[in-house]
Structures are given as C-alpha cells and as structure tokens.
Amino acid sequence: MAVIFESTIKMVEGSGEDWFIELKDCVDDRVEVCANLAEYSKKVEELGADYGGNIDEVIWMKDDNVPLPIMDTIRFEMSKLQAEIEDETGKKLTSEDS
C-alpha cells in the first residue's frame, strides 16, 4: 500500500490574500485544513505517524484562483522551512535527481 498525501493550496472564500492548504490522506480519505505551513508540517507529521513516518509521495496542487504572488509567498516560506529542517537534521530533504 502506497501512502500518498494530496496537498491543495486554496484561497479563503471572498479573500484575495488569505490562503490555506487542504491536506488529504489518500489511504483513508482523512482531510485536514491547515492555515499556514507550520500547521501543515505538524499535520503531515501527525498523519504520517500512522504509517511509521513513511510517506511515499506528496502530490501538490493549487486551485485555479490562487494568484501568482500568493504562490511566490508560499514557495518562499517553504524554502525557509526546508532550510531549517535540513539544518536541524543535517540531511537534504530532496535528492539532486529531482
């Protein structure tokens, strides 16, 4: 059984700047709503714990109405979070092949 999570970036209804990430565990269809990347990271860890921390794939998507400046902000925040995790663990999160 492959453990796959889907992460979809969405806009808060009626807002042009507030976003969230909908995190779906494709194994059992659980869905979590994460208001920011810190909450997202925590929820991925919690859901992943059910599988011994072994997540095979995270599929990223975004709704069509997510503007480019919001995506740029999220990418920047994700880069910072990745660097922090890599500094803490001493290991790269992504391979050079990807």
Model confidence at 81, pLDDT cuts 50, 70, 90, reads confident
pTM of the predicted structure, to 2 decimals: 0.85
Which tens digits make up the pLDDT trace of 14-52?
Answer: 998 999 999 999 999 999 999 999 999 999 999 999 999
* pLDDT at residue 96, rounded to an integer: 59
Look at residue 63 in the predicted model and tell me its pLDDT.
97
**The total number of structural domains that make up the chain:** 1
Residue 7, SS3 per DSSP = strand
Say how far apart CA 59 and CA 36 lie, in whole Å.
17
Whether residue 30 lies inside any domain: the answer is yes
Q: Distance between CA 98 and CA 14 in Å, rounded?
A: 36
Q: Which domain holds residue 27?
A: 4-89
For residue 22, tell me if it sits in a domain: yes
| Domain contains 21 | yes
pLDDT at residue 95 in the model = 64
